Amino acid sequence: LGIIAMLWAWATLTYLREWHDPRSVWYLAAQKSSDPYGYWNLGIYYQDIADGLGTMRRAARLSGQEARRVALGIWAGDPRLPALLAEWNEGQQHGGPIEGQFQDHLRALAWAAFDRALITRGNLILPGLYFRRGLILFDRGDWAAARSEFTSALNDAARYPYVEYREEMTVRSQNALGAIALAEGQYTEAMRWLTMAEEEQTRAGGNWVPDLTANRKRLEAIMDSSDLR
């Protein structure tokens, strides 16, 4: 009984350590299983942290305490860690140079996790996986590669069995393709994608991209003023 109790206590302590691991429970799940959802969720974890940093945020920012905890776990032993913590302590958390490097590192970790999810996904239809890969490439300014991922997301969305998620990913992917065209200065192409996304969002009664109509009208005004129609 004593041995059983010791083993049970050790297993419990190990579980608790894993649950509180600063790299998230998905980090340990991905170490123990080749399930694509484990890799996907790990990638989402890294990407969402990265998207909450900097001055152009796409996700909620971590609290100062939580950000430090995550940095201590992910950059443990990295010589840049003291400079990152000093940056945050000095109130320069919004877009400091070392934070930018940490953000890039997080996105690289996310990309690696998404790669593993893609390799192990089998026949699963995962439009969100392609979409999130596209966001990383978009943030890197690699428009051509991002377009390929968003197109794959759109194609996968068309085959997705559940209507609401299919509609959401269709709208998000079309909007993203419009954003790429806009970044490249292809206004007519951008208008085509934004209009399709707006019409689909209206038809479905969703609000997945809240500023979609405003952005389409803004682009329309730019095109009218520049005689680009």
- Which CATH number fits the domain that encloses residue 151? 1.25.40.10
Task: Note whether 111 and 180 are same-domain residues.
Answer: no
Judge whether 28 and 18 are in contact, CB under 8 Å: yes
Q: What is the pLDDT of residue 199?
A: 98
* Domain termination site, one of 75, 90, 121: 121
Tens of pLDDT, residue by residue over 77-101, are 999 999 999 998 876 667 889 999 9
pTM: 0.83
Between CA 133 and CA 93, with CA 48 as vertex, the angle to 5 degrees is 125
Task: Note whether 112 and 154 are same-domain residues.
Answer: no
pLDDT greater than 50 at residue 17: no
Task: Note whether 73 and 139 are same-domain residues.
Answer: no
Task: Note whether 53 and 103 are same-domain residues.
Answer: yes
**5-to-10, 13, 42, 112 alpha-carbon distances in Å:** 9, 12, 33, 39
In this structure, what is the dihedral angle of CA atoms 43, 47, 48, 51, given to the nearest 10 degrees?
-170
Long-range CB contacts (within 8 A, 24+) of 159-165: 159/125, 160/125, 160/127, 161/125, 164/204, 164/206, 165/127
Number of domains present in the structure of the chain: 2
* Domain termination site, one of 121, 151, 182: 121
Q: Which two tokens stand for residue 26?
A: 């998905």
CB within 8 Å of 121: residues ≥ 6 apart: 36, 129
Q: What is the pLDDT of residue 30?
A: 55
Task: Note whether 199 and 222 are same-domain residues.
Answer: yes
Q: How far apart are CA 22 and CA 27, in angstroms?
A: 9
Q: What is the pLDDT of residue 23?
A: 55
Task: Note whether 88 and 168 are same-domain residues.
Answer: no
Task: Note whether 153 and 62 are same-domain residues.
Answer: no
Q: How far apart are CA 195 and CA 221, in angstroms?
A: 14
Task: Note whether 141 and 97 are same-domain residues.
Answer: no
* Domain termination site, one of 105, 121, 137: 121
Task: Note whether 84 and 177 are same-domain residues.
Answer: no
Tens of pLDDT, residue by residue over 23-75, are 555 555 555 567 888 899 999 999 999 998 887 778 778 888 888 888 998 99
Q: What is the pLDDT of residue 20?
A: 43
Q: What is the pLDDT of residue 166?
A: 97
Q: What is the share, in percent, of the chain residues with pLDDT greater than 70?
A: 83
Task: Note whether 141 and 219 are same-domain residues.
Answer: yes
Tens of pLDDT, residue by residue over 165-221, are 999 999 999 999 999 999 999 999 999 999 999 999 999 999 999 999 999 999 999
Residue range of the domain that includes 201: 125-229
Nearest to 137 by CA among 113, 117, 107: 107
Task: Note whether 146 and 34 are same-domain residues.
Answer: no
Task: Note whether 195 and 116 are same-domain residues.
Answer: no
